[in-house]
């Protein structure tokens, strides 16, 4: 299994940098107080990061995703990128609850670097993962949902041979490929658009890979994808 990015994605978003962490033979069970403390620290730092902004949407690292959503025809007022939704939740005083170690860790990295981060259970993926533009007929059942909600034609999606695994780039993940405590192999993806660059995405990706190795064990690797790489 590999992550394939369609050339048209780079044609439309030439500054895109994708960090990929793959982890095999991991233990994702249980809860870590150390990870919880990392989240609490990141939550406090987020409040300081946005203190002088009139709205979360004005932050450059969030504004770039609003602009990207508009470019593929999605209204960012109605459908927020994962990092904007996460930041808003924390800024309203919400504390991120434990889900499982992998999700807790990628939420921490998402807050620390202000980037969208997501993950899938590799054993639930059919074929390769493709990041590209939707045709509009692909099947999708959102996390926690039961009904099919196909993407709009032209929407940026992640998909495999079965259907969509994340809609509107990083808006909603699929129930079928979600990470659980039973996950033993996972792929985690960090997405960067300017003003974030390869150096910062590489740093965030290595940080996440090190944390997964520390708290989940197994064999963990990472790599970076960008235009012409």
pLDDT tens digits, one per residue of 80-129:
999 999 999 999 887 999 999 999 999 999 999 999 999 999 999 999 99
Residue whose structure tokens are 């946005």: 50
Segments making up each domain of the chain, as ranges: 6-120+178-226
pLDDT digit string (tens) for the chain, length 229 residues:
999 999 999 999 999 999 999 999 999 999 999 999 999 999 999 988 887 787 889 999 999 999 999 999 999 999 999 999 999 999 988 799 999 999 999 999 999 999 999 999 999 999 999 999 999 999 999 999 999 999 999 999 999 999 999 999 999 999 999 999 999 999 999 999 999 999 999 999 999 999 999 999 999 999 999 987 6
The closest alpha carbon to 219, from 209, 228, 227, 208, belongs to: 209
Domain 6-120+178-226, what architecture?
3-Layer(bba) Sandwich (3.50)
Residue 128, phi then psi, degrees to nearest 5: -90, 165
Q: Left if phi > 0, otherwise alpha if psi is -120 to 50, otherwise beta: which for 99?
A: alpha
Say which DSSP state 173 is in.
Answer: E
Nearest partner of 136 among 122, 124, 118, 150, judged by Cα: 150
Q: Calculate the alpha carbon distances from 197 to 20, 111, 114, 225 in Å.
A: 15, 17, 13, 12
With contact defined as beta carbons under 8 Å apart, do 111 and 90 qualify? yes
Return the structure tokens found at 7: 């050339």
The distance in angstroms from the start CA to the end CA of the chain is 18
Return the structure tokens found at 10: 């780079």
Q: Determine whether 32 is exposed, middle or buried from the number of CB atoms within 10 Å of its CB (0-12, 13-18, 19+).
A: middle
The partner residues of 219 in beta bridges, in order of sequence, read 24
């Amino acid at each position: 299994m590999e992550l394939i990015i369609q050339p048209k994605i780079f044609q439309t978003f030439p500054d895109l940098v994708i960090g990929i962490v793959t982890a095999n033979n991991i233990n994702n069970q249980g809860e870590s107080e150390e990870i919880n403390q990392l989240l609490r620290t990141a939550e406090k730092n987020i409040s300081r990061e946005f203190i002088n902004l009139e709205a979360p949407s004005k932050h450059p690292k969030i504004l770039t995703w609003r602009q990207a959503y508009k470019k593929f025809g999605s209204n960012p007022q109605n459908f927020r990128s994962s990092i904007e939704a996460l930041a808003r939740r924390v800024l309203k005083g919400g504390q991120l609850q434990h889900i499982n170690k992998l999700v807790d860790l990628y939420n921490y990295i998402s807050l620390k670097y202000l980037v969208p981060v997501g993950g899938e259970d590799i054993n639930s993926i059919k074929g390769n993962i493709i990041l590209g533009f939707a045709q509009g007929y692909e099947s999708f059942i959102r996390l926690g949902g039961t009904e099919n909600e196909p993407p709009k034609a032209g929407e940026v999606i992640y998909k495999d041979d079965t259907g969509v695994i994340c809609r509107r780039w990083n808006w909603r993940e699929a129930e079928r490929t979600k990470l659980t405590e039973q996950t033993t192999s996972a792929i985690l993806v960090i997405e960067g658009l300017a003003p974030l660059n390869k150096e910062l995405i590489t740093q965030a990706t290595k940080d996440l890979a090190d944390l997964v190795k520390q708290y989940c064990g197994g064999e963990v690797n990472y790599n970076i994808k960008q235009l012409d790489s």
